[in-house]
Structures are given as C-alpha cells and as structure tokens.
Structure 1
Amino acid sequence: MKTFTLPGTDLVVPNVVLGLMRIQDKTDDEVRTLISAARDAGITFLDHADIYGTGVHGCERRFAEALRLTSSEREQFVIQSKAGIVKDGPYFDFSYEHIVETVNGSLEALGTDYLDILLLHRPDALVEPEEVARAFDDLSSAGKVRAFGVSNHTPGQIELLRRSVSQPLVANQLQLSITHSPLVAQGVTANMEGLDQSIVRDGGVLDYCRLHDITVQAWSPFQAGLFDGPFLGSDRFGELNAEIDRLAEKYGVPAEAIAVAWITRHPAQMQVVLGTTTPERVAAAALGSDIPLTRPEWYGLFRAAGHRVP
C-alpha cells in the first residue's frame, strides 16, 4: 500500500481509504471483518459522516459499537468525518453552532476524543466564512479536530473560506472514476470549440487543488456516473471492461484494482475512497494502490471510457 504525508498535516496516510457509509445494518462481526480486511490490505484511513446511516451519526455509532477501540487502537487509524448536510430539510448548514454540535455528536458516537480530519460536506450557499473560521478555531484549540478540509467544493468556494479560515484546508472530496471524470477530462480537450468535454464546469478544481496542496479524495471510484450503477462488468461499457480485463490479466490483479490504479496513477497523489462493504472487494481494490500504469495504458482506459483524446 502506497502511503504519503498528507500536505498540511503530519499524518502519514494510505492512498486508498475505506468509506463507512453503508455499515448501519451490519453485525458486529461483519463490521470487524470489514475493518480487518482493510487493515490487512494497508488501509488505515476511515471515512465517516454524521449523516451516514439511520438517523444522525448512525454509522459512526455502529462502528464504535462493533470495534470498541482502546486509545492505543484508536491511534492506529486516521478517522475523518464530515458535517454540513441536514437530511431532514434537505439543506446545508455551515453555521458555528451546527459545525460544533455535529463534531461533538460525532465524537460521542465514535467514542473518541478527536477527529483527525473534519470535512465540510457539500457547499452551503448561505455560508458565512467567519462562522466557519470561529468553529474551526474552537475545535482546533480544544483538540477535537486536528485538520480540516471540504467536500465537493469549487476553487471559488474554497478561496472564500480560506480568506477567513486560518487552518490549511487539506482535502477536497470529489466524485471521480474512469467514466465520471470531468475534472480530468476537460483539461485534455482544452480550447476545442464545440466539444462538450472541453467546457469548464468546476473552475479547474483539480489543478487548483494541486497548486494549493489540497489532496483530492476520489469518491465513487466504480460508479459510472452520479449514482447510476457501476461500470465494472456493465454491458454499457464493453470496450472499457475489455481493456480493464486485459490489464488485470497483465498485472495479475482483479478488475477493481485497475479502476483504482487509474486514479492513483495520476500525479496529483489522490486518495481513492471505497464504499463497498464486501471485504473481498476491499482487498481487491487495495491492490491498485501502486500499480504503475504506463501512459499508454492510462490513456487507453480513458479513451475506452468514451472520453476524447485529440
């Protein structure tokens, strides 16, 4: 498993992350088996959010109940959670009160004294950056959160926060897969008139994050689009799956590993967030951590997914 020091922190992290948004209905043994499979594969970075599961903090509490980590065991994991989405609305809330209340709830549910990283979950159109800054300052000074970041934010939204927030924003969690990759694909066809792929829709967020040492965390790495099913094994992506299978055979790994490798091969040094609760798939995907795809192989997968390469 490839690791690196997360810019803006002293955390040494793997480039594959285990997301825990689907563990609410898992038994203690199932949760422990999942975490054990991840650890055996070198994945010690766990991704939570207050809204995952039934009710608020459902999956966080399920995790804590199943693992019952001692303080020394807790130190072996990097635990990240998120705040800002109010499901009952639905709406978003980056107010001081909501951020602090959410973190306190996450700490209680997880049975820990601190979060390694807190992300603001989706952009709040009514954000007041001074409120966010005050929340971050209080959480940091109290030792409750060690590092901060965002999720699904554009460069402009991040700049607005950075004008008030004193801590570095160390991560931006964004949807990315071979088939859903506008943040990569646009730059490949820059300045090509009349081509939909060339339209800038995200403000150049990938390049922005690279320029500002913000680590991109790629969620839904196997999803074809926005929650419309996986591309692996799908008849909709016959050419892509044929290319994935060819490379899987070459490198002696499962197909999931090639899908992960396409992301980790990018020099932006991104992290891949896995959402599966199947231990075997976690182990399979983790094998993609440091597969050295060549440029022709990387671009071959990109083209097979339907993207234009001039």
Structure 2
Amino acid sequence: MNNVQYVNIGHSGLRASAVGLGLMRVAKKSDADAAQLVATAIDHGINFFDNADVYSQGQAEEKFGAALKIAAVPRDQLVIQTKVGIADKRYDFSKDHIVAAVNGSLERMGLDYVDSLLLHRPDPLMEPDEIAEAFLQLQNQGKVRQFGVSNFNPMQVALVQQAVPMHLIANQLQLSIMHTGMIDFGMHTNMADPRSIDHDGGILEYSRLHDMTIQAWSPYQYGFFEGVFIDNPKFPKLNDKLHELAAKYGSNVNALAAAWILRIPANMQVIAGTMNPERLAEVADIDRIKLTRQEWYDIYFAAGNDLP
C-alpha cells in the first residue's frame, strides 16, 4: 500500500518518497528488526533511505546493509543516500577524504553505488575545485549518481556550486513545526523583533530559486535534540490542534506534523528518524491529508508563532 507522495529531488530525475527513513539510530537494532523496519517502509511507499558514515561510526551503514540483504528488496526500487565529510574532531572535504569515505560507505552497505551523496556539514577549509574533482571521479566511476549538501547556508552552497559541474540537488536542514527559523525570518522582514533575525541566509527562498529540495531533519524535535513535541505536555495547544486535524482527516498526529512540512511549496522531503515500524507507518499515512492554508497557519500559531 503506497501512502506517500513522491518528489523529484532537485529536479534530478530521482523519484523519491516525500517521507524518507533516517537511519541515524538503526545500529541499535538487531539485523532482523532493521530488516522489518525497511520492509515496513517499502510496504508504505517509502523508498528513500538516508544514512551517513558518521552515524554510530559506520555501524548504521553496516546495519542497513545487513537489513537490505534480509529484506531482499531489488536495488532499483530504492533511493539510497549517505553523507560524508565529518572526520575525527574536524570536517574534511578534501578529495582524498571524500573518495575514501564513499568507498567505505559502499563497502559497509554492500552497494555498488548510492543515488545521492551529501556533504554533511560545511568545512571552512573546503576547496571547491577539490570537491569538484572528487565528485567527478565518483560519478565517472558510477559510485554516486547525484550530489547535494547538508546544513549549508546559501553562500556556502553557491561557493561549491560554482565549481562543480553537476547540479546540487538537495540541502538537508533542521525543520519542524517547533523549529521554524527559516520561515519566521521571511515574515518578519524589515523588523527588529527576535524572529526577524536571519540565522539561515534566506535558505528557504534560495533553495526554491535554485531547484534544491530541502530535506527536513528532526521533523518531530524541538530545540537541538531536546525531545519530541508530539503528545508532549509542554505543548498542549499544538497537540490539541494536531489531534483535532488528525481526526478531521482520519489520520494521526505524526502524519499531520509531516504534512505540515510538505505543505510548504519547496519540493520538501521529511526525514523521519523513528525506529518503530508502527510509528513509521503512521508517518507515512499522509495521502489523505490536504491542509488548507488556514489549517497550516493554525498549526503554526498553535506552536507559539505569530505574524507581524
């Protein structure tokens, strides 16, 4: 049963589920449980899987590779992404590191290629021409099909993009109902209140202008990994509104929180990091949710936000 819609990531031709499974915590699962999680994702139309070489020091990629073997899903039905660039106590975008990191990721996952590779966090020592050399080598070897970034501001994206010949298709950024800085800033332009402070360089508008899909990480968290806001007594108004709309649409609050992000017309993806198959199935149940403009704003207000 396919419950999710699909997006063309960065207009690249990669057809991926709008809800993806983030694998940061999968190393804690048994091989069998990880395979069940992958199978649940596939059963609910989720074909996009996001990993990183730094997650559990490579063990997340190893566990995902083991799960793929057990689940026996044809490779061409999956869109697999990983991230590289975080080294021991530093970031490293050197050609040697990027190439070696990708080779390590492929070996751990038991794959010949990944569909998408992201540079994980901006490296102030990055040399764009060296990144371009690494990307071209990996693409020419058939090891990486598409490229993007994670946690970059617009000028950092532009710096890399001017050197690499391939279009950067995605930027993975923190975004949730309770983490809306890139949205708040746009509405509080030309003001002096706290919400007018631009922490992101206009990344939402930049991404839309340059056909880059925003992949929302921590879509259920408030703060920086402080906890989930779903059914959290700290946020009664927000949860009341989510439950109200979930009942209206015959869905659930996890799907509502994802649908709120996907309602933003920026070719969004939601990276759900749950390791619970039942909850993942709930997140995927978004096909019947068509938030109106007023409902989107009502959720925004219930989270404690305002308009100028």
Q: Which range, TM-score by smaller chain?
A: over 0.9
State the alpha-carbon separation in 2 of the partners of residues 136 and 177 from structure 1: 31
State the alpha-carbon separation in 1 of the partners of residues 32 and 114 from structure 2: 24
TM superposition shift of 1:64: 1.2
Do structure 1's residue 115 and structure 2's residue 114 form an aligned pair?
yes
In the other structure, the counterpart of 1:305 is 303
Residue 37 of structure 1 is aligned with which of 36, 40, 43? 40
Q: Is the 8 A contact 1:150 1:169 kept in 2?
A: yes
AA matched with 1:256: N
- 1:46-90 C-alpha deviation (Å, 9 max, x unpaired): 00100112x3x211111112321799711110000000012x31x
Give the secondary-structure state (helix, strand or coil) at the position aligned to 2:169.
Answer: strand
Residue 7 of structure 1 is aligned with which of 2, 10, 20? 10
In the other structure, the counterpart of 2:79 is 78
TM superposition shift of 1:25: 2.2
Question: Identity rate of aligned residues, in percent?
Answer: 49
TM superposition shift of 1:44: 0.4
Runs of 4+ in 1 over 4 A off after TM superposition: 69-72
State the alpha-carbon separation in 1 of the partners of residues 66 and 160 from structure 2: 35
Taking structure 1 as reference, are residues 238 and 70 closer, same or farther at Cα in structure 2, changes over 3 Å only?
closer
In the other structure, the counterpart of 2:217 is 219
Give the secondary-structure state (helix, strand or coil) at the position aligned to 1:49.
Answer: coil
TM superposition shift of 1:10: 1.8
Taking structure 1 as reference, are residues 145 and 9 closer, same or farther at Cα in structure 2, changes over 3 Å only?
same
In the other structure, the counterpart of 2:262 is 264
Larger deviation: 290-299 or 172-181?
A: 290-299
TM superposition shift of 1:4: 2.6
Larger deviation: 67-76 or 213-222?
A: 67-76
- 1:122-175 C-alpha deviation (Å, 9 max, x unpaired): 000111111101000100111110000000000000011011111100000000
AA matched with 1:157: Q
Q: Is the 8 A contact 1:265 1:290 kept in 2?
A: no
AA matched with 1:208: Y
State the alpha-carbon separation in 2 of the partners of residues 148 and 125 from structure 1: 19
Larger deviation: 212-221 or 3-12?
A: 3-12
Taking structure 1 as reference, are residues 70 and 17 closer, same or farther at Cα in structure 2, changes over 3 Å only?
closer
Taking structure 1 as reference, are residues 170 and 301 closer, same or farther at Cα in structure 2, changes over 3 Å only?
same
In the other structure, the counterpart of 2:158 is 159
Give the secondary-structure state (helix, strand or coil) at the position aligned to 1:259.
Answer: helix
TM superposition shift of 1:200: 1.2
In the other structure, the counterpart of 2:227 is 229
State the alpha-carbon separation in 1 of the partners of residues 11 and 149 from structure 2: 14
Query: How high is the TM-score relative to the length of structure 1?
Result: 0.95
How many residue pairs were aligned?
305
TM superposition shift of 1:184: 1.1
In the other structure, the counterpart of 1:208 is 206
In the other structure, the counterpart of 1:184 is 183
State the alpha-carbon separation in 2 of the partners of residues 72 and 59 from structure 1: 18
- 1:254-290 C-alpha deviation (Å, 9 max, x unpaired): 1101100100111112000000100011110111356
State the alpha-carbon separation in 1 of the partners of residues 14 and 214 from structure 2: 15
In the other structure, the counterpart of 2:95 is 96
State the alpha-carbon separation in 2 of the partners of residues 290 and 269 from structure 1: 18
Q: Is the 8 A contact 2:118 2:150 kept in 1?
A: yes
TM superposition shift of 1:43: 0.3
Give the secondary-structure state (helix, strand or coil) at the position aligned to 2:77.
Answer: coil
Structure 1: state its 5+ residue gaps.
none
Two-structure CA RMSD over aligned residues (Å): 1.4
Taking structure 1 as reference, are residues 232 and 30 closer, same or farther at Cα in structure 2, changes over 3 Å only?
same
AA matched with 2:86: I
In the other structure, the counterpart of 1:199 is 197
Give the secondary-structure state (helix, strand or coil) at the position aligned to 1:170.
Answer: strand
State the alpha-carbon separation in 1 of the partners of residues 67 and 207 from structure 2: 36
In the other structure, the counterpart of 2:25 is 22
In the other structure, the counterpart of 2:63 is 62
State the alpha-carbon separation in 2 of the partners of residues 113 and 275 from structure 1: 25
State the alpha-carbon separation in 2 of the partners of residues 8 and 249 from structure 1: 34
State the alpha-carbon separation in 2 of the partners of residues 7 and 124 from structure 1: 23
Larger deviation: 6-15 or 106-115?
A: 6-15
Query: How high is the TM-score relative to the length of structure 2?
Result: 0.96
Larger deviation: 230-239 or 154-163?
A: 230-239
AA matched with 1:82: K
Q: Is the 8 A contact 1:197 1:308 kept in 2?
A: no
Structure 2: state its 5+ residue gaps.
none
